[in-house]
Amino acid sequence: MDQFTLNLIFVGATFALYIGIAIWARAGSTSEFYAAGRGVHPILNGMATGADWMSAASFLSMAGIIAFGGYDTSAYLMGWTGGYVLLAMLLAPYLRKFGKFTVPEFIGDRFYSKGARMVAVICLIVASVTYVIGQMKGVGVAFSGFLNMSYSGGLWLGAAIVAMYAVLGGMKGITYTQVAQYVVLITAYTIPAIFISLQLTGNPIPALGLFADTTSGVPLLEQLDKVVQELGFRSYTAQSDTTLNIFLFTLSLMIGTAGLPHVIVRFFTVPKVSDARWSAGWALVFIALLYLTAPAVGAMARMNFINTIYPNGLTGETLAVDEQPNWMLNWERTGLLQIEDKNGDGHILYSADKETNEVVKLDRDIMVLANPEIANLPSWVIALVVAGGLAAALSTAAGLLMAISSAVSHDLIKGMLNPGISEKGELMAARISMLVSILLATWLGLNPPGFAAQTVALAFGLAAASIFPALMMGIFSTRVNNKGAVAGMLAGLIVTLVYIFLHKGWFFVPGTNSFTDADPLLFSIKSTSFGAVGALVNFAVAYVISSMTEDTPAEIKALVESVRVPRGAGGAVDH
């Protein structure tokens, strides 16, 4: 059986499973659409959260970023896992105890202001749409790769699939679909990693294989470091970015994790407050299975790619242009890989020298999908990875779209514009807003501002600067009032957006950059790291404005105390 047919069988079987689950768990009420009826078991919710979290950025892009960024990109691992500790300890149980459907609803009630709720909706939509762009980039990469079609064609096809099951099932359907997607994606990620680790080092555990000896008797990481430096690239294991930027980037990812609405809303789906904390713990366990493997996948992918170009060693003859393996030819058709024989010698040269380098385009997001083919693994493993990549991208896209649609229908339409709307009308509004969000994210995904992981990092920065401080102050401070909260959220969001606008330029002219990562505007701070600065601005403005205006009403202070103090941890506040 040829590879294309096998890919179709694996992907078709998993899609049939997802759509079948969505139909079985179709939401029939707003409670089921927004919060899955609050009946999800903590372990299942942990798996669904893991799938929701391990997006195209984690499955497809992170290992690719690590493959070419080395030490500096380890911040992705620290930030995206560390954020769950903050989430489990500081936010999840308190938000569940508050007993509402959405993050803007909590902010609106806590800060006793429809204006605060409106600003929270805006912050949520800006962060979530930016995040969805990264997921749609992953969807386009995965579909174009396995169907041998253009990136744009793969992107629109993937959008149609997302619309089919996310719009139908709501949170209830998405939750149980994500449980299945987690099983698919973690299996698809670990099996090829084990194969490749055995192939290169003889060690079946990829995380340990990274430090095990290769056939040349040198540890894999040490050998890779030596090879990339000989090709003119910077050291793989040495720090090249500034400590300040790495610190701020890690912090931005951590607090962005704890402020992302599509993650937080998962903890509204469990029966009890204590279940919210357990869900976060289980999610961290399920996420760790992939994150402990990702550095090895990245390093091994880079080594295998170099070995493909230099089959006879760095001093030997390189790969002939007319002898390219099928995987290279397939990815060239998508436009995500481009080879140019600049000197006309019929062979491919790969090095850090832009003048002589003939691998003129190599999209980092293809590395995980291409890795099994580069390593000549069995066809069924390649098909499994394709299915896993699609599961990762689609699961998170669905969760984000759920957060956006609930913000529009529940917070904006029902909460402010039309409080008397019927439950049926609200459900229809939620589905329409989700469909519009899919179309917008897909269109923007045609010209993303970076690789999937980089685009997602921008979304984390926006959530860190706007939503996280409002949630923290809403739970742990009775002094911050509605005026302070609104001013803080707007200040954090605007200063971060302006910095990204000036730094990336993409928002004005898609596909362009007015500044590069090597040319930051403020000290050494890159656009992906600025969310932590935006959060500090948010906190400072909120406290200053609150101290200059009237005190928080007594009933709101009592509400904050009832949410924060762990009395009656098995239930939720009714008000």
CATH number assigned to the domain comprising residue 394? 1.20.1730.10
Q: How far apart are CA 441 and CA 449, in angstroms?
A: 12
What is the residue-level pLDDT of the chain in tens, covering all 575 positions? 777 888 888 888 887 887 777 677 665 545 545 544 455 778 888 888 887 777 777 887 888 889 999 998 989 888 888 887 787 778 877 877 776 667 888 899 999 998 999 999 899 888 888 888 877 877 788 888 777 778 888 888 888 877 776 666 555 666 777 788 788 889 989 999 999 999 999 999 999 999 999 888 899 999 999 999 999 999 999 998 889 999 999 999 999 988 877 777 777 677 777 777 788 788 888 888 888 999 999 999 999 999 999 998 898 899 999 999 989 998 998 888 999 999 999 999 999 998 999 999 998 888 988 989 888 888 888 888 888 887 777 767 776 777 787 778 877 888 788 888 887 887 788 878 888 888 887 888 787 766 666 778 888 899 999 999 999 999 999 999 999 999 999 999 999 988 887 776 544 444 444 445 555 667 778 888 999 999 999 999 999 999 999 999 999 999 888 887 654 444 444 44
String of b and e for 70-80 (b: at least 16 CB within 10 Å)?
Answer: bbbbbbbbbbb
Note the pLDDT of residue 94: 82
Residue 233 lies in a domain: yes
Residue 569 lies in a domain: no
Phi, psi dihedral angles at 243 (to 5 degrees): -60, -35
Note the pLDDT of residue 513: 43
CB 450 within 8 A of CB 79: no
Residue 260 lies in a domain: yes
Q: What is the DSSP letter of 16?
A: H
By the 10 Å C-beta count (0-12 exposed, 13-18 middle, 19+ buried), 502 is classed as middle
Residue 101 lies in a domain: yes
Note the pLDDT of residue 181: 79
Note the pLDDT of residue 334: 85
CB 116 within 8 A of CB 108: yes
Residue 451 lies in a domain: yes
Residue 573 lies in a domain: no
Q: What is the DSSP letter of 68?
A: H
Residue 345 lies in a domain: no
67's enclosing H/E stretch is helix 63-69
Q: What is the DSSP letter of 231?
A: T
Residue 315 lies in a domain: no
Note the pLDDT of residue 101: 60
By the 10 Å C-beta count (0-12 exposed, 13-18 middle, 19+ buried), 137 is classed as buried
Beta carbons within 10 angstroms of residue 329's beta carbon? 12
Full 3-state SS string of 304-341: HHHHHHCCCCCCCCCCEHHHCCHHHHHHHHHCCEEECC
Note the pLDDT of residue 37: 47
Note the pLDDT of residue 568: 45
> What domain count does the chain have?
1
Note the pLDDT of residue 450: 63
Note the pLDDT of residue 565: 67
Give the pair of three-digit tokens for residue 411. 């917070």
Q: What is the DSSP letter of 525?
A: B
Residue 244: give the domain boundaries: 3-301+377-564
